[in-house]
Amino acid sequence: MQKGHYLMLMKSEADLGTMIVENLSLATYVCQENKLIYLNRRFCDIFGFDDRESLLYRDLFTDIYPDSGSLDLFRGMHEKMLAEGTPHVAWAQPSGRRDGCLFWMEIEAKQVMVNGRPAIIGTFKDQTDCQIMAEAMAVSQQTLRLLLDAMEDRVYVVTDDCQIIYANRKMLETCNGNVQTDPCHKVCRDFATPCEDCRRQEVFNSGKPLYKEFFNETNQAWYSVIELGIRMPGVSRPAKLAVARDITSRKEAEQRIRALSHRLLNAQEDERKVISRELHDDLGQRLNAAKIGIETLAEDLSQQSGEVKKRLDDISKILQSSINSVRQLSGALRPSFMERLGLVEAIRDHIRKLVGVHSLSIDFKAGGIKEIKLDNETEINLYRIVQEALHNVVKHSRASQVNIRLVASHPDILLRIEDNGCGFSLEEQMTPISQGQKLGLVGMAERVDLLHGKFNIVSSSGNGTRIMVEIPFWRNGLS
């Protein structure tokens, strides 16, 4: 290649390099012995200079750099590079433009040789927006931390290996052990092994919040917990966020309400028993006496006119009808079969009366009940549950067939009532009372709870209803 062509090629490459540097979004400069020997247009734009040529070969630190407040840091980094022979340095710092406006710049500098002497080529960019965003995020994180610390709920984040990686103030104040080193089951509940009701994998896999309640034996408190699977920045393992609220006061209030409800149910049954006995023994006897008196009077007046005899016969029939009504009312309040023949026969008697009035087929089977001794409270509450369930069938379900099974199977009494009626939406029925909740369902549930049992309803529109009750009978003196 001829020398002229070579020089032209070299010039073309230099021009290309200059054009690239001039169009970079990074400010670029070359400093040798503190003097600027090169700078691009972006350098001038960022600092607010108009004439680039006037800046060449002037002292970068004493003549050009416009912010005296950050000058020492900027100059110190350059001097340190040259003194220690460091090939590459990057840092960030605040600075000021010529008009006094502050900004944040991110700088990268490299040590090079120019004409056999050391020099520094530097690039920097305006990162003010990024810094503002970072500061805003830091403020947001600090605000969030303050908010979490102000909460009276226990808030914490735990990984799938049971390690707590965040705990708020309330959690730190009420926990057991060391949050930094102990597993969550030790910190939360003072357990040596993972909690039996832990649902970590379900939380991680579901992607939805999960709810649970548990009793903490250590501090004798009830907690309601919401758990949600999350991903924490900088943490490679799956984690869950948990918010635990102390609901001890609520639980105690519920227990008081439940105890009151139980007392009311028992008082109601006692009152029914008293009224039933009064109706049967007092009013019933009085009506019988009146009927006998009328019949005796009719015999004494047998020689009277037919009109008198007819009126006495009518009064006798009215008295007999009243006696029958009193007996039915007394039986409804406290079934006489219950005291004389027990639970199973009382249910059979109620079914016979019901079938006699309504076009309904009821298949009732009992097993093992007569072989165990039930107390009066258990018997009457089981009877009331069956009574209420059949009442609902007659009133609401439009069913033609009902199956009832009552079985004593250690350690429980199992009661199942199933119909082929129209069914109903559980969600709609189990709404607050003010919106139309069925008190019959509530009453059955209360009676089961009174007997420390389990109550479950399965129903849907068009598919009938199934009620299942489990009552433990190997407790409270039952045998």
Mean pLDDT for back-to-back runs of 10 residues, the chain (479 residues) = 46 52 81 94 92 93 93 93 92 91 91 93 88 69 80 89 90 86 88 85 83 87 89 82 89 80 73 69 70 74 73 79 73 66 86 85 90 83 89 87 91 91 72 50 84 88 89 60
Give me the pLDDT at residue 336, please. Answer: 64
The reply to whether omega before 411 is within 30° of 0 (cis) is yes
Residues 6 or more apart from 42 whose CB is under 8 A from it?
A: 24, 25, 26, 27, 28
Alpha-carbon dihedral sign for residues 261, 262, 264, 268:
positive
Among left, alpha and beta (phi > 0; psi -120 to 50; other), residue 144 is alpha
Q: CA of 130: how far to CAs of 94, 96, 137, 144, 416, in Å?
A: 13, 17, 10, 21, 67
What pLDDT score was predicted for residue 430?
A: 53
Amino acid, res. 138: A
Answer yes or no: pTM beyond 0.85: no
Laid out side by side, the sheet with 117-126 consists of: 35-39, 27-32, 117-126, 102-114, 88-96
Give the list of residues 6+ apart from residue 25 with CB closer than 8 angstroms, or none. Answer: 42, 125
pLDDT for 137 equals 67
Written as six digits, the tokens of 468 are: 């299942």
CA 473 to each of CA 224, 342, 379, 415, 456: distance values in angstroms, whole numbers, following the listed order: 31, 16, 11, 13, 18
Report pLDDT for 332: 65
pLDDT score for 335: 67
pLDDT of residue 62: 93
